[in-house]
Structure 1
């Protein structure tokens, strides 16, 4: 595809950088503007526009297309203003669809949690089966970086990306559905609709559902025609996968569910059972997802990627039988912590450290629902680790599983996880 007028990049992250490279390779003389709501717009070869100048820029049609980064909400009023002016708003993913979709098999995987693990497993299973498959989206490459490298492309997609995805996959999968990202979408209802936009549309594509998604009425309605659903595993396949997971580095019942879903997707798109089992064996935990470190005689689990209470519950379940110290809390997204609080004592949590700002609500709920659990409210991660160092005889495992985003105190979950590991090493190492 070609652009007849300048392009505006809204955002300056990894996808914006790959969009710039894509445009530079195809139309080196095309003017490219860039705007960011915060931080620095430091992509070379672009012309900065301040957010306050966008209304005037739209009125004077300084650009003909806006390519929005996923982290920028599509519900910002400026995008409606652009559409009213006849300026389309698109994405890196949709540019990939317009340029490279034809002639390829596309597997698109979403869900509130588990999508990265499921997509990674699906990719491994297909590759181990000899299928020419690539991995893109939030794991692997940015969509436009994936370009036309592989005949099968697995996209791991957030609700930010499924909300306006404008091409159909050959197979779409949903792991589960819980409230998240309310600040970006504006409401829980809109989050659900944007997430399920992946499957809630016309087309003959196949659909695979995770165990938690199968029992969800909203998901069932979005499937529309249940003849779309791929076949579930038979008893022998399920037993073989369960045995392979038990020997692998996948922890917890939720990861067994992820492996089963990945197997259904892979088998429906050309994998062999031997390849599926080899893919499970080859799996390595993703960074900051139940990533284990040992310092002294304690295990430290970096689950910083956990941004929902459901993810924290899954992390606790993966360490059943341990004496646990849990660090939780982060950026406010109006999520309900009552059920998590009720499960703390039976999950083996001895000490709960609550971080701002959601930690305040979690601490209140925990004191009411689990009075035997020691609850400490800490202003930051440094204070949390100091408090744990003073109590190191009480537990054998420390889990950072915040159940909330990181943005109030950290740039992203990676920075939060890295800081946790560094503090653990300093306080409990070598």
Structure 2
């Protein structure tokens, strides 16, 4: 792989840094530019092009390739300008596929929720089975960071990455499909199409589907041929997996589904039953995913990764039997909270704290559907936690499972989750 013209990196995060290192190793003298829509363009040995100057730079053909970071929407007008100028747009993932993909077994896992847990489990199951496997994508390493280190690579991929993925995996997996990321994709329909691009392509690759994906008509259409599906687990295998999950740190019915899907993938990729059971035992909950803490004799659950109402329902279901306080609400992505509001009391929610901006709709829906639930509205997370402290006799567990992204008040869900834990200790501990 050789680059005949300068390259533009659009975005300056982890993937962009690994792309720069890849280009430097391949062609030390290659000219590289960088553009960012916000934040610092802190990548060594690059020349910055301001976003306002980018259309003119494209028309002047100052570079011959754009490597787009996942967080930059492929539907920005500037990429239409690039297409008209004959400048292709690619990604860190696609560069990996071109450089290293041919000699590896590629497992690509996506889905609205559960993909990180499933991918982590598959990696654990394969390594415990003695398979030389690596983990990359949104968990583990960036694609170009993992390079050619392993014979099997498990990729956890967002819809941002599957939307323009140019190479075929050997095994593609979809956990589920719900509305999400409308701001990036422009519509729910486009989100579904971009997510399903992982499987909705010609090729003889195998496909594994999670429980929630199997009954989805859009998924069935994208699958094309049911003969693509990996084999179902036998009754004996299912019993072994159910027993292993019951004794593990995987909480909730949704994580049992994730584990079963991971087992199907791992067995199809050369794993053993003993290996997958060992992988389940070795699993540690990922940060900000039903991450438990205890302060002042009360349980606090950091589920900040929850950005959809479906994820919030799964979190609440994992804590049945508790009297729950739920903290929810965040960045607007056209989420529908009507069903969630009607289910809160049945999940054991006694107190609901709603945060801007989607919390306003959740609060109204809950007051209408479940008047027995105490609804508190707060301008920010700290105010919400302090309001909860005044009702602390009404619950024995607090769950931050916002059902919405964090961008209106936090940099990302990790920052939101860390702040939740800090406040829990400071206010309740």
TM-score tier (shorter): over 0.9
Question: What secondary structure is seen at the aligned counterpart in 2 of 1:383?
Answer: helix
CA distances 1:248-294 after superposition (whole Å, capped 9, x unpaired) = 00000000000000000000110000000000000000000000000
Distance 1:394 1:32 in 2: 58
Offset at residue 21 of structure 1 (A): 0.9
1:312 is the counterpart of 2:312:
yes
In structure 1, the gaps of 5 or more residues are: none
Q: Which runs of structure 2 are paired with 1:83-232 in the superposition (5 Å)? A: 83-232=83-232
The equivalent of 1:274 in structure 2 is 274
The equivalent of 2:407 in structure 1 is 407
The equivalent of 1:240 in structure 2 is 240
Offset at residue 308 of structure 1 (A): 0.4
The equivalent of 1:416 in structure 2 is 416
Offset at residue 44 of structure 1 (A): 1.3
Question: What secondary structure is seen at the aligned counterpart in 2 of 1:101?
Answer: helix
Offset at residue 391 of structure 1 (A): 1.5
TM-score by length of 1: 0.99
Offset at residue 392 of structure 1 (A): 1.4
Distance 2:364 2:143 in 1: 42
Question: What secondary structure is seen at the aligned counterpart in 2 of 1:161?
Answer: helix
CA distances 1:359-387 after superposition (whole Å, capped 9, x unpaired) = 01111111111110000110000101101
Offset at residue 25 of structure 1 (A): 1.2
Offset at residue 156 of structure 1 (A): 0.3
222-231 or 384-393: bigger deviation: 384-393
Root mean square deviation, CA, Å: 0.5
CA distances 1:211-252 after superposition (whole Å, capped 9, x unpaired) = 000000000000001100001111110011001000000000
In structure 2, the gaps of 5 or more residues are: none
1:252 is the counterpart of 2:243:
no
Offset at residue 335 of structure 1 (A): 1.1
The equivalent of 1:329 in structure 2 is 329
The equivalent of 1:47 in structure 2 is 47
Question: What secondary structure is seen at the aligned counterpart in 2 of 1:336?
Answer: coil
Question: What secondary structure is seen at the aligned counterpart in 2 of 1:135?
Answer: strand
CA distances 1:100-152 after superposition (whole Å, capped 9, x unpaired) = 00110000000000000000000000000000000000000000001000000
Distance 1:60 1:85 in 2: 9
Question: What secondary structure is seen at the aligned counterpart in 2 of 1:307?
Answer: coil
The alignment covers a number of residue pairs equal to: 429
Give 4+ residue runs of structure 1 displaced > 6 Å after superposition.
Answer: none
TM-score by length of 2: 1.00
Offset at residue 2 of structure 1 (A): 1.4
1:394 is the counterpart of 2:406:
no
Distance 1:4 1:342 in 2: 59
The equivalent of 2:265 in structure 1 is 265
The equivalent of 2:8 in structure 1 is 8
